[in-house]
Amino acid sequence: MSIPSAPARRFRRAAIAVGAVLVAVALFAVGLNGRAEGATTSSTSVAASAPAGGPPVPQIVPKPVSMQVGTGWFTLGAQARIAVSGGAQAMAVAHDLAGYLRPATGFPLPVVAGRGGAGDISLAVGANHAVGSDPDGEGYSLGVTSQGVRLTAGSAHGLYNGIQTIRQLLPAWINSSSVVSVPWEMRAVQIVDYPRYTYRGVMLDIARHYEPPAAVEQLIAQAASYKFNVFHLHLSDDQGFRIAIKGFPRLTRIGGQGSVGTDGRTMDPGGFWTQAQYRQVVADAKAHFMTLIPEVDSPGHNNAIIMSEYNDLSNPLLNGPQDINCSANHPPVWNYTEAVGYSALCPDSQNTWTIMTAIIDQLSAMTSGPYYDMGGDEVPSTILSQSQYADFLNKEAPIVRAAGKTVMGWADIAGAGTSLGTPTIAEYWNPASGSQSGTETGTEAVAKGMQIVMAPANHTYLDQKYLAGSAGNVPSTLGLSWACNTGCDVDQFYNWDPGSYVNGVSDSSVIGVEGAMWGETVPTISDAEYMVFPRLLALSEIGWSPAAQRTSEQSPAYQDFIGRLAEQGARLQTAGVNFYPTPEVPWGLDLSVAQPTLGPGLTIGGTLATLSAPGRATSAVNATIQWGDGTSSTGTVTGAAATGTTVNGLYSIGGDHRYGQAGVYLATVTTTASGTAPASVSFFVRVG
Ligand code: TNX
């Protein structure tokens, strides 16, 4: 039998020893390359091995500050332990790591206190961590040798960031929720890593379309795996109010219903979270080392509040609440379109402040993080004069501060007449750059001593279409294009710099970046994922990695990035995350061994291997099976095709064969597709 020659990147071989029906199978240790890992005692015993050159160079997103790649590798084996020193929080991170690694490996990976030995993954807080500029203690040092993995950090958060890197050092199949047969090898590396920015956020709008807590937690988990540390939750807008507030049941009974496009709340019933659900999501975000920031937009973008409370005449807390309405319409009317800028709460209504104080106080009490977002965007002067607008925010900010939170809002809050105190965080969303008209909100925010989160819509808005034009709208049902009339694909999300985007707004004011997933056109979490991924990963790198020449599609930084991003395709697919397989990214092929069917007699068949091939139709992939007895045949490639709003699924590579005589054969499945390296996987078949 012949062993395929050394692989290109992504080329993998695994060996699987398959016991035929007539043979009692015990452990089947494979001597391929002198290395064999793992075996089970089931009738389809597995022993995975790997290419002679060891695992490929890791393709990590976001790019670490420094990574030295060695020549050897570490093999995570069935006996490995996760050893941890550093207290309860570090112990919790060790359990997180075990939780990430157990499903795909099937290994027990016990978490033990103390310093690990050979073959273990060791986590330690405090000890010798060689991290440089890291004021927030989020950095980590990670060493992989043939003897083991050692992760050290100054805090549990640093450890948590480090375990996300450990996941990416392992094969992409590590994200699978069921056991996968690949060699669990990690290339020898020395990594020192820490973030450029303090604030790395993702925002989700559950007001325009409701999302349940479980869906939001899915996004939190994905964002955390790319080292995001803020989850900004847009809870209220013109079309919906999504959180129960005691004393104001109509906010959710009336305001919680409906969504954009529901035309009178018939198509999409909307929904809201109970306070218990909100607390649970706050805790879940915290467990992922993400700070949850609640936003109830004000004084504009709140027709749902106005429609709920305008006629709340019997509420003992209110006194003639019809004076809350400063909208374009008197009385207010529902508007389920994507229109903006027509609603406003009145700053000089006592009822306004009774309602807003209840919202701010209750949300703040339930929120463990230090921020509360007042919104503050898009109130035309035809609705509220600038002085009324400023008056509103100047009244709201002290309520937020009294509730113990730092004020945050869209950068409009820096406009004339506002005096919100410090610290205040302004989120810059205007596409304008340099000193163009529209950048004033950024420079005004700096002038008022605010800290800035950079979220220019044409580089960070996750609801914008990937491609422009009617033919190119991918997909046609999702996305707006007001900020991206030439399209906002991965290149647009990557090629900009938060610290020099607006003249006068430099890294001395910028605390980070945020990607905003607005919900007008996005009814389901699957659709949201399609819009969020993969371009959120560009923001992950902008927020985390050191400044680079991120200027154009030709720049070395971008070329390096999309090569690493390509590797994330299989990780997203195995994690079950939907994404847009943009043609900008050179997606590859990645294979793992599946569970073939044996017998009757000397036959093998069924699914031999599982293939990740993002963005390629089954017809664009060729599969060949060398059965190990000198014969070969064409494999079938089957699986779920892409739709306008979903990525294609993982594919199954099938084939059937009858061996001429009993024996042990090394079979190899090879897949090829144009423009990318082939992928192969090998497995032993014992028949007869
Ligand atoms: C602008 S920018 C908005 C949102 C919309 C979004 C759609 C800003 C603070 N507000 O209300 O949902 O554009 O892209």
- For ligand 1, the distance from its centroid to the CA atom of residue 340, given in whole angstroms, is 8
664 lines ligand 1 (CB under 6 A): no
Looking at the chain, the whole-number percentage of residues with pLDDT higher than 70 is 90
pLDDT in tens, 258-277: 899 876 566 677 999 999 99
pLDDT at 571 over 50: yes
371 lines ligand 1 (CB under 6 A): no
pLDDT in tens, 333-392: 999 999 999 999 999 999 999 999 999 999 999 999 999 999 999 999 999 999 999 999
The closest-lying atom of ligand 1 relative to the alpha carbon of residue 301 is 11
State the pairing for strand pair 111-113/82-85: parallel
* Two tokens, residue 178: 């069921």
Whole-angstrom distance, CA of residue 139 vs CA of residue 29? 40
Helix axes 525-532, 213-225, angle to 10 degrees: 20
What pLDDT does residue 32 have? 33
What is the spatial order of strands in the sheet that 18-19 belongs to?
18-19, 679-687, 663-672, 622-626, 632-638, 651-654, 607-612, 590-593
What residue's CA is closest to ligand 1, atom 7?
Answer: 518
What pLDDT does residue 484 have? 93
Contact by Cβ (8 Å): 659, 607: no
197 lines ligand 1 (CB under 6 A): no
Which of 25-34, 104-113, 195-204 shows the lowest mean pLDDT across its residues?
A: 25-34
What is the average pLDDT across 61-82? 97
Whole-angstrom distance, CA of residue 426 vs CA of residue 408? 6
491 lines ligand 1 (CB under 6 A): no
What residue's CA is closest to ligand 1, atom 6?
Answer: 518
What pLDDT does residue 227 have? 98
Among residues 259, 488, 295, 306, which one has the least CA distance to residue 400? 295
- For ligand 1, the distance from its centroid to the CA atom of residue 397, given in whole angstroms, is 22
Task: Round the average pLDDT of the chain to a whole number and report it.
Answer: 91
CA 453 to chain centre: 19
Whole-angstrom distance, CA of residue 365 vs CA of residue 367? 6
pLDDT in tens, 395-453: 999 999 999 999 999 999 999 999 999 999 999 999 999 999 999 999 999 999 999 99
* Two tokens, residue 98: 């075990």
Whole-angstrom distance, CA of residue 615 vs CA of residue 642? 8
User: Does the bond joining 581 to the residue before it have cis omega, within 30 degrees of 0?
Assistant: no
The closest-lying atom of ligand 1 relative to the alpha carbon of residue 463 is 14
Looking at the chain, the whole-number percentage of residues with pLDDT higher than 90 is 85
287 lines ligand 1 (CB under 6 A): no
Whole-angstrom distance, CA of residue 353 vs CA of residue 396? 8
CA–CA distances in Å: residue 268 to residues 99, 213, 216: 36, 17, 18
By 3-state DSSP, what share of the chain in percent is helix, strand and coil, each rounded to 5?
25, 25, 50
Which of 40-44, 131-135, 216-220 shows the lowest mean pLDDT across its residues?
A: 40-44
pLDDT in tens, 191-222: 999 999 999 999 999 999 999 999 999 999 99
- The pTM of the full predicted model, rounded to 2 decimals, is 0.94
